[in-house]
Structure 1
């Protein structure tokens, strides 16, 4: 239970560090959180593939949303900033731990994604220099739809990779 609470608290600390700090030395916070996760809560062997997959998928989704004008960052970047990719990495660390309960039912993962995903974007835009240039209701509809689909898919990756890791662990014991 302590590790689940630590997992949730570490994610929140990392979220604030990324959103409020952006790039530069603030990126040391999510890096440290990932190290704590892989050395104390889980391991790279168990969840490294999941973290890489979620970072790549999430960064691609957010880069698409950036290119379609759902949100804007300062500058002319075609892809999301590093701090946002770090947020995806930290989200990946919660899927098998403090958010594991949301994977039990697809509708629950979809509902949590539809609510928490857009809330995170709106809160992040309020606290940082990210702009949401579209009409608020349009942005909300897009983000609700995206996250209602994305969050269950992320749990699907977590499930598949967890099963692969368990099978490999059992084969290594033979």
Structure 2
């Protein structure tokens, strides 16, 4: 936990690179930023194995969740590499970057699942709304309400799920798995 602020700021840089890059057609900017974040964070981590497993798991979950949005037309993503029917690589990189915060800047949420649920329900839709309004990296449609509601539900489920996985893979001292 000693690197919580640099971890949080580094994830924000990944988010900006991914979203800003996607808006400009640079689908690769997010994955590159994530690799740089991981190359910095993993050597510092006391929970390298847990962090890697969380990244892989979050990438899988994120690919499924955002592919549902893309496949159903609930939202469209800028720079949709590899396909408009699937989650783009840049957003999958964001999921991996988010996973790298769970044992670091967001570690205090591991025993506080209700707070994590609220963070997911609010923060997930907010991030997508900002990606749409400020960057044009996401299109939530003419009526964004259904997309934002779906995002709130999905993130309110996924965030505590990932926190439970983080807690089991790398428990905080003195907390149960």
> CA 1:90–1:25 in structure 2 vs 1: closer, same or farther (change >3 Å)?
closer
> Shift in Å at residue 134 of structure 1?
5.5
Q: Which runs of 4+ in 1 moved over 6 A?
A: none
Aligned counterpart in structure 2 of residue 113 of structure 1, from 120, 145, 148: 120
CA contact (8 A) 1:7 1:41 kept: no
1:8 corresponds to: 8
**Please, what TM-score do these two structures have when normalized by structure 2?**
0.83
**Matched residue of 2:77: which SS?**
coil
1:56 corresponds to: 60
Answer with 1 or 2: which has the greater Rg.
Answer: 1
1:35 corresponds to: 39
Of Structure 1 and Structure 2, the greater helix share is in 1
Over the aligned positions, Cα root-mean-square deviation in angstroms equals: 2.0
Aligned counterpart in structure 1 of residue 71 of structure 2, from 54, 57, 67: 67
CA contact (8 A) 2:19 2:30 kept: no
In the comparison of the two structures, how many residue pairs are matched? Answer: 164
> Shift in Å at residue 17 of structure 1?
0.4
The 2-side partners of 1:65 and 1:27 are apart by 20
**Please, what TM-score do these two structures have when normalized by structure 1?**
0.85
CA contact (8 A) 2:111 2:167 kept: no
> CA 1:25–1:138 in structure 2 vs 1: closer, same or farther (change >3 Å)?
closer
> CA 1:85–1:14 in structure 2 vs 1: closer, same or farther (change >3 Å)?
same
1:96 and 2:103 equivalent? yes
Q: Please, which runs of 5 or more residues in structure 1 have no aligned partner?
A: 167-174
1:160 and 2:168 equivalent? yes
2:17 corresponds to: 17
The 2-side partners of 1:11 and 1:121 are apart by 15
**Matched residue of 1:94: which SS?**
coil
1:150 corresponds to: 158
1:123 corresponds to: 130
